[in-house]
Chains A and B, each alone.
Chain A
Amino acid sequence: MDFDFAAEQPKLIQLLIGVAAFLAVVAVVLLLVDRVPMRRRAWPHATILLLPALVLLGIGLVVPAVRTTLLSFMSGDGQQWVGLDNYAWMFTQPEALTVLRNTLIWVLLVPLLVTSVGLVYAVLVDRTRFESIAKSLVFLPMAISFVGAGIIWRFVYAYRAEDQDQIGLLNQIVVSMGGEPQQWLQEPPLNTLFLIVVMIWIQAGFATVVLSAAIKGIPAEIIEAARLDGAGPLQMFFRVTLPSIRSAVIVVMVTQSIGTLKLFDIVRTMTGGQFDTSVIANEMYNQAFRYGETGKGAALAVFLFALVTPIVIYQIRQRREVR
Chain B
Amino acid sequence: MSLLSRTNRVTLVASTVGLALAVAACGSTEPKPSAGGDGGASAECAAFSKYGKHEGKTVSIYSPIRDTEADLFEQAWKPFAKCTGMKITYEGTGEFEAQIQVRADGGNPPDIAFFPQPGLLERFAKAGKLKPASAEVKRLTDEGWSPDWAKYATVGGTFYGAPLGASVKSFVWYSPKMFKEKGWTVPTTWDELMTLSNTIAGTGIKPWCAGIESGDATGWPATDWIEDVLLREIGPEGYDDWVSHKLAFNDPKVVAAVDKVGAILKNDKFVNGGYGPVKSIASTAFQEGGVPITQGKCALHRQASFYANFWPEGTKVAEDGDVFAFYLPGNDPAKKPVLGAGEFVAAFTDRPEVQTVQAYLASAEFPAARMKLATYVTARKGVDPALAQNPIDKLSMQMLQDPDTVFRFDGSDLMPAAVGAGTFWKGMTDWINGKDTKTVLDYIDASWPKS
A residues engaging B (CB < 8 A)? 6-7, 9-10, 12-13, 16-17, 19-20, 23-24, 27, 30-31, 33-34, 37-38, 75-77, 79-80, 93-95, 159-162, 181, 183, 185-186, 272-276, 285-287, 289-293
Interface digits, B267-298 against A, CB 8 Å rule (1 contact, 0 not)? 00000001110011011000000000000000
* Pick from B2, B280, B443: contact of A34, CB under 8 Å: B2
Complex CA–CA separation, A160 to B279 (angstroms): 11
**Cross-interface CB contact of B216 among A19, A37, A77, A272, cutoff 8 Å:** A272
Nearest Cβ on chain A to B210's Cβ, whole angstroms: 14
B219 to chain A, nearest CB (A): 8
Residue from the list B32, B418, B423 in contact with A76, Cβ < 8 A? B418
B446 at the interface (CB under 8 A from A): yes
- Closest Cβ of chain B to A94, distance in Å, is 7
Residue of B nearest to A268 (CB): B216
Q: Is the CB of A159 within 8 A of B282?
A: no
Tell whether B46 is near chain A: CB-to-CB under 8 Å: no
The 10 A-B residue pairs with the shortest CB-CB distance in the complex, in nearest-first order? A161-B276, A291-B418, A289-B98, A291-B422, A27-B16, A20-B19, A20-B23, A75-B451, A16-B23, A290-B98
In the complex, what distance in Å separates the CA atom of A87 from the CA atom of B136? Answer: 47
Asked, given contacts A16-B23, A34-B9, A272-B215, whether A183 binds B451 with beta carbons under 8 Å apart, the answer is no
Interface: B301 (CB within 8 A): no
Which of A23, A34, A293 makes the CB contact (< 8 A) with B449?
Answer: A293
Complex Cα gap A272–B126 (Å): 29
Q: Report yes or no: A31 in contact with B280, Cβ–Cβ below 8 A.
A: no
| Partner of B31 from A6, A27, A273 at Cβ < 8 Å | A6
Task: Check if B22 is an interface residue, CB within 8 A of chain A.
Answer: yes
Taken together as a complex, chains A and B put the C-alpha atoms of A56 and B449 apart, in Å, by 36
Q: Are A24 and B16 in contact (CB-based, < 8 A)?
A: yes
Contact A13 B422 (CB under 8 A): no
* In the complex, chain B residues whose CB is within 8 Å of the CB of A185: 283
Q: How many angstroms from the CA of A293 to the CA of B101 in the assembled complex?
A: 11
* Inter-subunit contact A162/B276 (CB<8 Å): yes
Are B446 and A93 in contact, CB atoms less than 8 angstroms apart?
yes
List residues of chain A with CB within 8 A of the CB of B15: 23
A76, B218: Cβ atoms closer than 8 Å: no
- Say yes or no: B417 contacts A274, CB within 8 Å: no
Q: When the two chains form their complex, are residues A80 and B416 in contact, meaning their CB atoms are under 8 A apart?
A: no
Are A20 and B20 in contact (CB-based, < 8 A)? yes
For A183, what are the chain B residues with a Cβ–Cβ distance below 8 Å?
A: 279-280, 283
Given A38-B1, A94-B443, A186-B433, A292 and B451 contact (CB-CB distance below 8 Å):
no
B47 an interface residue at 8 Å Cβ cutoff?
A: no
Contacts of A292 in B (CB 8 A): 101, 120, 123, 416-418
Chain A at the B interface: mostly helix, strand, loop or mixed? helix
Q: Are A76 and B429 in contact (CB under 8 A)?
A: no
Which chain B residues in 433-451 approach chain A with CB under 8 Å? 433, 443, 446-447, 449-451
**Is B421 among interface residues, defined by CB-CB distance under 8 A?**
yes
**Residues B16 and A290 in contact, CB atoms below 8 Å apart:** no
Asked whether, in the complex, the Cβ of B4 is within 8 Å of the Cβ of A30, the reply is yes
Q: Which residue of A lies closest to B15 (CB)?
A: A23
Main secondary structure of the interface of B (DSSP, over half): helix
CB atoms of A31 and B418 under 8 A apart: no
With a cutoff of 8 Å between Cβ atoms, the chain A residues found around residue B433 in the complex are 186, 275
Of A12, A34, A75, A285, most buried by chain B (CB within 10 Å of CB) is: A34
Q: How far is the CA of A252 from the CA of B254 in the complex (A)?
A: 52
Looking at the complex, which one of B19, B102, B451 makes contact with A23 (CB distance below 8 Å)? B19
Residues in A whose Cβ lies below 8 Å from that of B233: none
Select from chain B the residue with minimum beta-carbon distance to A7.
B31
What are the residues of chain B within 8 A of A37 when measuring CB–CB?
Answer: 1
Among A31, A272, A287, chain B packs the most CB atoms within 10 A around the CB of A272
B23 is contacted by which of A17, A33, A273, A274 (Cβ under 8 Å)? A17
29 contacts between A and B (CB under 8 A): A7-B31, A9-B31, A17-B23, A20-B19, A23-B15, A23-B16, A23-B19, A27-B16, A30-B4, A33-B3, A34-B4, A38-B1, A75-B451, A77-B451, A95-B443, A272-B218, A274-B282, A274-B430, A275-B433, A276-B430, A289-B101, A290-B97, A290-B216, A290-B417, A290-B421, A290-B422, A291-B417, A291-B418, A293-B449
Instruction: Give the interface size bracket for B toward A.
Output: 35 or more
A76-B451 contact in complex given A16-B22, A291-B418, C-beta closer than 8 Å = yes
Which residues of A sit under 8 angstroms from B417, Cβ to Cβ?
Answer: 290-292
- Chain B residues near A33 (CB, 8 Å)? 3
CB atoms of A77 and B127 under 8 A apart:
yes
B23→A13 contact, CB < 8 A:
yes
Minimum Cβ distance to chain A for residue B227 (Å): 19
A37 to B3, CA, bound (A): 10
Is the Cβ of B421 less than 8 Å from the Cβ of A291?
A: yes
B224: min CB distance to chain A, Å: 18
Q: Is the CB of B451 within 8 A of A31?
A: no
Contact of A30 among B12, B97, B216 (CB under 8 A): B12
CB-CB under 8 A for A77 and B126, given A30-B3, A183-B283: yes
Closest to A24 in B: B16
User: Chain A: which residue is nearest B119 at the CB level?
Assistant: A292
Q: Flag if B27 contacts A159 (CB, 8 Å).
A: no
- A135–B29 Cα distance when bound, in Å, is 54
Considering the chains assembled together, what is the distance between the CA atoms of A12 and B27 in angstroms?
A: 10
Q: Is B426 an interface residue (CB 8 A)?
A: yes
Cα(A159)–Cα(B274), bound, Å: 12
User: Is A186 a contact partner of B416 (Cβ separation < 8 A)?
Assistant: no
Return A73 CB to nearest CB of chain B, in Å: 14
Closest chain B residue to A9, Cβ basis: B31
**A186 adjacent to B279 (CB under 8 Å):** yes
Chain B residue with Cβ nearest A94:
B443
Given contacts A20-B23, A76-B451, A290-B417, contact A161 B280 (CB under 8 A): yes
In chain B, positions 404-437 with a C-beta closer than 8 Å to chain A are: 416-418, 421-423, 426, 429-430, 433
Give chain A residues whose Cβ lies under 8 Å from the Cβ of B32: 6
Asked whether B334 is an interface residue with its Cβ less than 8 Å from the other chain, the reply is no
Chain B residues with CB below 8 A from A7, complex form: 31
Which among B26, B443, B447, B449 has the highest number of chain A CB atoms within 10 Å?
Answer: B449
Instruction: Decide if A34 touches B3 in the complex (CB within 8 Å).
Output: yes
Of B423, B430, B443, which is within 8 A of A275 by CB? B430
B100 (CB) vs chain A CBs: closest residue: A289
- Give the residue name and chain of the A residue nearest to B26 (CB): A13
Note all chain A residues with C-beta closer than 8 A to B43: none
